[in-house]
Amino acid sequence: MNSSFMQKVVVLGTGGTIAGLRDDPKDPNSYQAGVVSVGDLVSKAAKTSQVVLESRQIAQIDSKDMNHGIWSQLLLAIDNCMRDDGVMGVLITHGTDTMEETAYLIARLIKPNKPVVLTGAMKPFDAHEPDGPKNMQDALWVIQALFAASTPCVCVVMHGVVHSPYKVQKLNLQSEAPFYSNAPAPQGSQEALGVMATLGEQASTLALEWGHPHAHNDSFNWGKTPTLFAFAACNTPPRVEIVMSHSTMGEHNMLHTLLAELKHFKLNSPNSHMALKGLVLVGPGAGNLHQALHAPLVELMQLGVRTVVTQRAPWGGGGKGIRVMLNHGQSGSQSQSKEESLELGISALSPVKARVALMLSLMA
């Protein structure tokens, strides 16, 4: 990296609360996301920035409505920045609802040669004390620190904390610090007492982890990953659904509905592109599945639906196999039934990231 040529940070705007405007000044929760342009966000941030900022509007949406087309545009814009020697880093303004999915996708498909940082806000642009400007300032500082240390990586920066895209999850709706990427600190520890490492120390730690060859390996074997351009060229990404295992689950559950739908698509080939291709099951405890899911699950897998199990608990799992008994015999038949175990892999990724990972695997 030659710092004499890389002096510009490109800010890619996608909307979100950070670009939101209030409907009712007296109600902080009443606002419309994605109204303010990224140019206006940058104009405000440029007053305190020590680097040149260039803005590019990718989308202006509430991030709950993120879709494949916007993802593709964003990835291609990031890739262009990676190829531009005049760019020292990329800052992405994004809604917090799906930021963890976008961050994970970028980390999987982009091989960064300069920092890529996502940030957002929990308060809209015109709030009394908006948190967006400070988050952008922190994100720009992290970009400069990572660039100066020649340690490019992808990360999320919110409320003074640097998060790994592989671990970050939104778990708090009542705080300006909505994201967590590690298990809660034990009581009495420095982190629990509020003594946090500086942004620079956090960024350096993440960069070291990023460079480790086994830092991002999940216990589940996802297989190959498509190229960025193959992802962007795909007009209809593989359909992957998420189903949660829960108490009092009946025999006629969502898997039965998906199974009936899949059989319909199999008989109506013109609609086959809409058929289920992948399934993420979210189990309680160590990823345990309600027995009512077993029979339809086996049929779905026999019809070619790739399946992975994740856990409802955000930390401490992964790496264990889930065993489902597959009965080849038919009730009432003279042939002796034969049972054998069908083992499903369990991923340590959050359910939404596992869905992205499975989609990528199906596209490769």
Query: What integer pLDDT is reported at residue 115 of this predicted model?
Result: 96
Same domain, 171 and 87: yes
Query: What integer pLDDT is reported at residue 3 of this predicted model?
Result: 45
Same domain, 141 and 280: no
Tokens linked to 55: 């803005």
Residue 219 in domain: no
* pLDDT tier for residue 325 given thresholds of 50, 70 and 90: low
User: How remote is the C-alpha of 202 from its chain's centroid?
Assistant: 20
Q: Which domain holds residue 202?
A: 8-211
What pLDDT digit, counting tens, does each position of 81-100 carry?
999 999 999 999 999 999 99
Residue 351 scores a pLDDT above 70: yes
Tokens linked to 23: 């409907």
Query: What integer pLDDT is reported at residue 326 of this predicted model?
Result: 57
Query: What integer pLDDT is reported at residue 73 of this predicted model?
Result: 98
Tokens linked to 215: 């830092």
Residue 352 in domain: yes
To the nearest whole percent, how much of the chain has pLDDT over 70?
A: 85
Residue 212 scores a pLDDT above 60: yes
Same domain, 142 and 22: yes
Same domain, 83 and 45: yes
Residue 64 scores a pLDDT above 50: yes
Measured between alpha carbons, how far apart are the two ends of the chain, in Å?
31
- In which residue are the tokens 């990676």 written? 82
Which residues lie below 8 Å from residue 324, measured CB to CB, with a gap of 6+? Answer: 289, 294, 297, 298, 341, 342, 343, 344
The enclosing domain of 264 has a CATH number of: 3.40.50.40
Same domain, 138 and 247: no
What pLDDT digit, counting tens, does each position of 147-185 carry?
999 999 999 999 999 999 999 999 999 899 999 988 766
In Å, how far are 142, 201, 312 from 58, measured between CA atoms? 22, 31, 33
Tokens linked to 345: 């892999």
Higher pLDDT, 211 or 114: 114
Query: What integer pLDDT is reported at residue 2 of this predicted model?
Result: 45
Residue 332 scores a pLDDT above 60: no
- Are 362 and 238 contacting, i.e. CB atoms less than 8 angstroms apart? yes
Averaged pLDDT for residues 341-354: 86
The enclosing domain of 187 has a CATH number of: 3.40.50.1170
Mean pLDDT in the chain?
A: 87
Query: What integer pLDDT is reported at residue 78 of this predicted model?
Result: 98
- In which residue are the tokens 């209809």 written? 236
Residue 69 scores a pLDDT above 60: yes
**What is the number of domains present in the chain?**
2
Query: What integer pLDDT is reported at residue 108 of this predicted model?
Result: 94
